[in-house]
Amino acid sequence: MYSVALMVQEHENILKLLTIIENACCGILDGKELVHEDFHSMIAFARNYADKHHHGKEEQIFFQEMTDHLGALAVKLIQHGMLVEHDLGRLHIGELAKALEQHEKDPQTLFQLKILTEAMGYVTLLRRHIDKENEIVYTYAEKNFAPDSLQSVDQRIMDFEEEANRNQVQATYLDLLNTLEKKYNP
């Protein structure tokens, strides 16, 4: 299924971001400078690639198809699992952004602690979330979607991707990821 393969590949890119965040946090604990601009870049990737681009496809297309056609189990899995975790990820990123702004204005230890806490909360949440999607959600959908649902999801996700390509979403954020990887994943 095109859409699942694409979303699994996007998960690989998101996992690279999570390693970058983790390495940046460890660096701070080891005495390296907290580089505000780099954390702003990590937040931009999380918001625009992981959330708007990747979660956008899941929420607007894939999960909607599951809840519309795969019954009560799918509804529970999506509404009380995956969507809740998406919202928790947004909360972590929002709180990280606030703590980063506070630290830029007043570099006290408390704000640095908040940066580390929210950043690592996001890392832990998303790693578990990605495992569940790859191993359970996508597999369940692939096994249970009717052929017309599979075809519809794939086509709508291809259309979503084409629009994102026209807006250079993938190129912009994968370039940003590459830049951050060179610095934090030597």
**pLDDT at residue 186, as a whole number:** 73
| Residue the block writes with tokens 């950043």 | 119
**pLDDT at residue 7, as a whole number:** 97
Arithmetic mean of pLDDT, 17-31:
98
Please say if the pLDDT value at position 3 is more than 80.
yes
Arithmetic mean of pLDDT, 134-153:
95
Q: Give the tens place of pLDDT for each residue, 71-80.
A: 999 999 999 9
d(Cα 38, Cα 21) in Å, to the nearest integer?
Answer: 9
Residue 54 pLDDT class (50, 70, 90 cuts):
very high
**pLDDT at residue 2, as a whole number:** 86
User: What does the block give as tokens for 131?
Assistant: 């495992």
Please say if the pLDDT value at position 104 is more than 90.
yes
d(Cα 19, Cα 35) in Å, to the nearest integer?
Answer: 16
d(Cα 184, Cα 186) in Å, to the nearest integer?
Answer: 6
Arithmetic mean of pLDDT, 101-118:
97
Helix (H, G, I), strand (E, B) or coil at 168: coil
Residue 92: count other Cβ atoms within 10 Å of its Cβ.
21
Residue 35 pLDDT class (50, 70, 90 cuts):
very high
**pLDDT at residue 64, as a whole number:** 96
Residue 156 pLDDT class (50, 70, 90 cuts):
very high
Q: 2-184 has which fold?
A: Four Helix Bundle (Hemerythrin (Met), subunit A) (1.20.120)
Helix (H, G, I), strand (E, B) or coil at 108: coil
Domain coordinates in residue numbering, the chain: 2-184
Please say if the pLDDT value at position 94 is more than 90.
yes
Q: CA 107, 112, 113, 119: dihedral to nearest 10 degrees? A: 160
CA distances from 78 to 53, 120, 139, 145 (A): 18, 24, 14, 15
Please list, in sequence order, all residues whose beta carbon lies within 8 angstroms of the beta carbon of residue 107, skipping any fewer than 6 positions away.
34
pTM of the model: 0.96
Please say if the pLDDT value at position 1 is more than 80.
no
Our CA angle for 83, 17, 76, nearest 5°, is 15
